[in-house]
Structure 1
């Protein structure tokens, strides 16, 4: 009898499968490397000081909004590195691509620079097949503070986490392009 129970347990264990875990990283723009010891006179410098996310986005799981009030944090579809770090790195890269000749950095450089902080309040897929990127950014420029809210909603081209992450990256790049336009107009 014990042998039959043991065989059944082994068979059931063999039949069950562990869900495969997938890791996601936002793609970054490839900006040509230039070596600059110090910012050149008259060169525009922007320090992307911080990108913050709320607690529900700060975990490892990619977030999906299942209804107006329910959010699901994936257990097997995870960010490869912390989302706030990915958002900061890709923002620096995307701004660098959108603003050739500018020095965009995640560290303060020189004595005269603009400071950009971004508070991301939404970065998830949604039940209607759309990706949502929302929040606000604050730019400190020559003693002035410019504050701008954003809400980008883009349709996903297909189902699945790969498409969701690609759409979120596209929306984040769009927001970087909007920030770049503002930076150009205030210079």
Structure 2
């Protein structure tokens, strides 16, 4: 009888330990370093960042890591603290607002006289070669004229681990914001 009790207690203890893996939650950090404003701005231009969409495999809670040329792993213990789409939209709004002085950049419609930007993110993950991958495309509606641009960035991770991966992804997203800001300012 005592043996059964010890076995049952051991099984319960092991089951409890195996289910209590530590989870880590990640939020994209605010822009690091100086955010460079794009020169030669028109003041008073309005930009509505209508939506940032992510590919289905990026839409879950887990941070994504590519283990070889065809395989991806979605982490079960390294999770986004809030939905990735939401984080990407908020950081892009902050970056574009800082980079486009004199512009009104918002996540809300401002009316008829505004540019409308939509971004689709098809890659936002770590890769087996130590790079963070940020890819996708954006579409701008400027006075009825549509402009589409693709992007594909790779940022080297300075060290291993999810913390370094998230920082490298944030750096790449900030770089892409700079590219978008430069291209938006050039459109007249």
In structure 2, relative to structure 1, the CA distance for the partners of 1:174 and 1:6 (3 Å cut) is same
1:145 corresponds in structure 2 to: 146
1:23 aligns with 2:18: no
1:79 corresponds in structure 2 to: 80
Distance between the aligned counterparts of 1:57 and 1:143, measured in 2?
31
Tell me if structure 2 keeps the 8 A contact 1:48–1:92: yes
1:37 corresponds in structure 2 to: none
Gaps of 5+ in 2: 33-42
1:103 corresponds in structure 2 to: 104
Gaps of 5+ in 1: 31-41
Tell me if structure 2 keeps the 8 A contact 1:49–1:117: yes
Taking structure 2 as the reference length, the TM-score comes to 0.87
Distance between the aligned counterparts of 1:143 and 1:95, measured in 2?
21
1:154 corresponds in structure 2 to: 155
Q: Does the residue aligned with 1:43 lie in a helix, a strand or coil? A: coil
Shift of 1:12: 3.9
2:7 corresponds in structure 1 to: 5
Taking structure 1 as the reference length, the TM-score comes to 0.88
For the aligned residue pairs, the C-alpha RMSD in angstroms reads 2.0
2:40 corresponds in structure 1 to: none
Distance between the aligned counterparts of 1:141 and 1:10, measured in 2?
62
Cα offsets for 1:69-106 (capped at 9, x unmatched): 10000001101111111111111110011111211001
Q: Which moved more, 1:21-30 or 1:148-157?
A: 21-30
Q: Which moved more, 1:147-156 or 1:1-10?
A: 1-10
Tell me if structure 1 keeps the 8 A contact 2:25–2:80: yes
2:126 corresponds in structure 1 to: 125
Distance between the aligned counterparts of 2:170 and 2:140, measured in 1?
22
Distance between the aligned counterparts of 2:54 and 2:13, measured in 1?
45
Tell me if structure 1 keeps the 8 A contact 2:24–2:77: yes
Q: Does the residue aligned with 1:68 lie in a helix, a strand or coil? A: coil
Tell me if structure 2 keeps the 8 A contact 1:136–1:148: yes
Aligned residues: 177
